[in-house]
Amino acid sequence: SQQGEEDPQALSIQEGENATMNCSYKTSINNLQWYRQNSGRGLVHLILIRSNEREKHSGRLRVTLDTSKKSSSLLITASRAADTASYFCATRWSDYKLSFGAGTTVTVRA
């Protein structure tokens, strides 16, 4: 399977702290994408990082990609209660399928 695998499965942090989650995958990719899902809702796209990029930022989000280790990380800085959600990495290679991992559930405590 080409699926990304997120780690940890669950994360609980205090508001204001940083949250870091990791994604590992198995084969060469075209790009890697991170999505957020609030309970019972659709997925919202956060960041796309291409295989020739090493780091991208978007607001309080920072994504890194290490293709030699086949891994990516998502950092959420200064977390807020509204960041409580599940976060998924998705990998895409030569065809058009986007494969998802099982996600990391983040709980931000007030």
Partner 1 sequence: DGGITQSPKYLFRKEGQNVTLSCEQNLNHDAMYWYRQDPGQGLRLIYYSQIVNDFQKGDIAEGYSVSREKKESFPLTVTSAQKNPTAFYLCASGPFGPGNTIYFGEGSWLTVV
Q: Which residues bind partner 1 (CB under 8 A)?
A: 3, 30-31, 33, 35, 40-45, 48, 50, 88, 92-103
CA gap 40, 42 in Å, rounded: 7
Nearer to partner 1, 15 or 61 (CB): 61
CB of 37 to partner 1, least distance (A): 9
Q: Residue 55 carries which DSSP code? A: E
CB of 106 to partner 1, least distance (A): 14
State whether residue 83 is helix, strand or coil. helix
Which amino acid is residue 46, in one-letter code? Answer: L
